[in-house]
Amino acid sequence: MPLLRLRDGAELFYKDWGNPEGAIVTFSHGWPLSSDNWENQMAFLGEQGFRCIAHDRRGHGRSTQTWHGNDMDTFVDDLKELFEHLDIKDAVMVGHSHGGGEVTRFLGKHGTGRVRKAVLVGAVPPLMLKTAANPEGTDKAVFDSFRDAMRRDRAQFFLDVATGPFYNFNREGAPRSEGQIRSWWQQGMNTSFKTAYDCIKDFSETDFTDDLKKINIPVLVLHGDDDQVVPFGASGEKSAKLLPQGKLKIYGGGSHAIHNINVDEVNADLLDFVRS
């Protein structure tokens, strides 16, 4: 099992799939999941000759369950170590939800020297939290309710998220996948309670506005207009306008998990973007 020992002794699990000599595409997963959430995209692009690399953020999946460091700056410093360890260059970075925040902060903090393009999928930037300067955001009470639900019964809360708003399985007539639900729940429960709890603050209160403005490479923003978790009007739409070279594609009726539900369409969009 490939593991990178980080500067503080924590171990970071990563996958390295596809053609070892191929152009590199990296994947950053959402909350509270793992690199497994990207398997459809990694398998597809790997079959097209790309080298696909994805990691489990610290506290998630098969990486060390650290007590401290469950914050965006630590996460992107970990990712920088992975890029250096694998000598990743000319990569396309892809991030979903909280992982889209990771991609954005990585590029804002560490620059674009090793990256040529990026893709944000249902991503949390610029800022999820409702503030005076961000009236389109979500009330803090919503995120407080997440924390309360975790403390009452994390297992049931994670099941409720997966059966409901994450995939839009709560929409009338929506086809429901029991397998997707079980996969989400399993990934979530494999994440440290402390990490999952701390990351509610991290994904909801981290402001990525300045990071977006700094990114000087092409960025494709993919977002469902029926995203119940990260509403389009407060995120994808605003991010595309803040990015110097942002390009937006809206998935009509799309959920927060378009890469899991609209698999063929997302794969085609990724392939077209990384090849161009």
> Is the separation of the CB atoms in 275 and 268 below 8 Å?
no
- Of the residues 34, 35, 97, 204, only one is catalytic, namely 97
> Is the separation of the CB atoms in 270 and 217 below 8 Å?
no
Specify whether 29 is catalytic.
no
- Of the residues 235, 256, 259, 269, only one is catalytic, namely 256
Specify whether 28 is catalytic.
no
Which residues, other chains included, contact 41 with Cβ-Cβ below 8 Å and sequence gap of 6+? 27, 52, 94, 259, 266, 267, 270
> Is the separation of the CB atoms in 90 and 21 below 8 Å?
no
Specify whether 256 is catalytic.
yes
- Of the residues 56, 78, 227, 269, only one is catalytic, namely 227
The Cα–Cα gap between 185 and 164 comes to: 12
**Residues labelled catalytic:** 97, 227, 256
